[in-house]
Chain A
Amino acid sequence: MPNKSIYFSGLMNYFEETGKVTLFAIRFFKEAFKPPYEWKELIRQCYLIGYQSLVLVAITGFIMGLVLDLQTRPTMIEFGAESYMPSMIGISIVREIGPVITALICAGKIGSGIGAELGSMRVTEQIDAMEVSGTNPFKFLVVTRIWATTLMLPILVIMADAVGLFGSWIVENLKGDVTFALFFNQVFNNIEFGDLIPSTIKSFFFGFAIGLIGCYKGYYTSKGTAGVGAAANTAVVVASLLLFVFDLIAVLITDIFYEI
């Protein structure tokens, strides 16, 4: 028989964590706009987080496009709506699948990376070393990373969208003789600003969530090297969960503004 107090303490833990993460986010916003700015580190992080995730995201996006098209095609043909394929694929990739898949991949790659990196920096006292040598480690490590994920994720999402659409086009071209021009013409004929803009804004928040959780988990790692693994692990789990929560909120908000 599970004890009631277990649930209670679990709930309290949840509230405590939420509170801490919120404080962490507030601290980020406080320090993010205050000089000195760590430009060099920001650019370095953008390179590591953005550019170095490109191949992974592109491959995922490409396969996502292929698979989505292959899976949807038979059903659409059954309804005789084959010619709606490009627009349908376009809308689903741009609106939802592109941002969410990219964000999940990045939560796995970047979130765990940040969690593990900051975690090991914490347990090997590198963060303390920064602190005593006059550099604000929060600013140098956390602010730059959260900025980098926030800024880079939308770009990655756009790239994943593009590669994904390209993948779908390949399937359409091989199976249905759809030309490149026709495919993208159809795609862009059916995408509205109401699809593109909210999903881009959403991507910023996804990036922010990944950076925030990764940094939070890493920055407050304790209990040695085991803690580093735990930090990386929980960073991915919590960030992925948070992504879906953000996604839900984003969809609801988009509904209000664009009446899909």
Chain B
Amino acid sequence: MNQQDKIREELALIENWDPAIPLIEIEDMRKAFGDHEVLKGFNLKLFDKENLVIVGKSGSGKSVLLKCIVQLESMDSGMLKVLGQDIAELDHEKLDRIRANVGFLFQGSALYDSMTVRENLQFPLRRHPERRRGDEESSLILDALKSVGLVDAIDLMPSELSGGMKRRIALARTLILRPKIILYDEPTSGLDPITSKEIIELILEIQQEYGTASLIITHDMDCARVISNRMIILVNGINYAEGTYHELLNSKDSNIRAFFKGA
């Protein structure tokens, strides 16, 4: 079996994912920075087409969790499976193929400043030609931009875009590889309430259109309320509580209630 066939088979397996198997499975994840232990045995299961929201205070290790999933950070101990593969064990090539299935929307959008919107969207494709699925590059870019409603911005530079537009373009860039999972790191941070609402609605639309599973990290409870099928509350480095928005809203636990105070 040659490399091409292998990749195709992998893709096929991922596209027809068994809903019973979690896309991401984390058990007893630990991560410390120096003496400061951020994650102290975190557990998580993300299933297909699910919107899982993780809420936690800033500095509680939410971002670190996401970065561990795509191996931008490596965890100290624990088990981490993404799309059925133990991600810490993979070589760089295989890791890249897994990463192509996991979109990552960064907190500050992380658009490449020196490139136009078009080039930004081209960028993920250059190393993942198999992700085009036979389509023309330009049509893929246009499709992605259509999904976020910013086709006109194709030749603009990121510096010419507003914060909300940047977030949309970043989302389009994430979508262009048609990932199975999208990780959102504070998707509404730094945006005004109206734009936040638009982005939240967009995330829902995208989720329906592309059929992705989403893992969303936020401390914006509005966002959590609209998007979440299920929520995890991260306190002291562990998944303190788990449930739907409403279940948690009615909780008597003071630690949980603290999150809903503003809502």
Contacts and interface: CB of A to CB of B under 8 A. Distances in A.
Interface of A: 117, 120-121, 124-126, 128-135
8 contacts: A117-B113, A121-B112, A124-B110, A129-B106, A129-B110, A134-B96, A135-B123, A135-B124
Contact of B70 (A120, A126, A132, A135): A132
Nearest to A45: B114
A126 B127 contact: no
Nearest to B111: A126
A124 B114 CA distance: 13
What are the 8 A-B residue pairs with the smallest beta carbon separation, nearest first?
A134-B127, A133-B124, A129-B110, A125-B110, A125-B106, A134-B96, A124-B108, A126-B110
A124 B177 CA distance: 22
Nearest to A40: B126
A117 B115 CA distance: 13
Contacts of A135: 123-124, 126-127
Contacts, number: 53
A117 B111 CA distance: 13
A216 to B, nearest CB: 19
Interface string B100-119: 10101011111111100000
A125 B67 CA distance: 11
Given A133-B127, A135-B123, A128 B67 contact: yes
Nearest to A48: B114
A125 B112 CA distance: 10
A247 to B, nearest CB: 32
A120 B110 CA distance: 10
B128 interface: yes
Kindly state the interface size class of chain B when it binds its partner. Answer: 20 to 34
Contacts of B107: 125
Contacts of A133: 99-100, 123-124, 127-128, 173, 177
Contact of B108 (A125, A131, A134): A125
B72 interface: yes
Interface of B: 67, 70, 72, 96, 99-100, 102, 104, 106-114, 123-124, 126-128, 173, 177
A134 B123 CA distance: 9
Q: Name the residue among A124, A126, A134 with the largest chain B CB count within 10 angstroms.
A: A134
Nearest to A133: B124
Contacts of A134: 96, 99-100, 124, 127-128
Nearest to B104: A132
A117 to B, nearest CB: 8
Contacts of A129: 104, 106, 110, 112
A128 B127 contact: no
Nearest to A41: B114
A130 B102 CA distance: 13
A130 B123 CA distance: 8
B124 A128 contact: no
Contacts of A120: 113
A131 B69 CA distance: 13
Contacts of A121: 112-113
Nearest to A38: B126
Contacts of A117: 113-114
A128 B123 contact: no
B127 A132 contact: no
A160 B67 CA distance: 47
Contacts of B96: 134
A133 B111 CA distance: 12
A128 B110 contact: yes
Nearest to B93: A134
A132 B102 contact: yes
Given A121-B112, A124-B108, A129-B106, 10 more contacts: A120-B113, A124-B106, A128-B104, A130-B123, A131-B70, A131-B72, A133-B127, A134-B96, A134-B99, A135-B126
A128 B106 contact: yes
Contacts of A131: 70, 72
B233 to A, nearest CB: 25
B207 to A, nearest CB: 19
A117 B96 CA distance: 25
Contacts of B177: 133
B103 to A, nearest CB: 8
A123 to B, nearest CB: 8
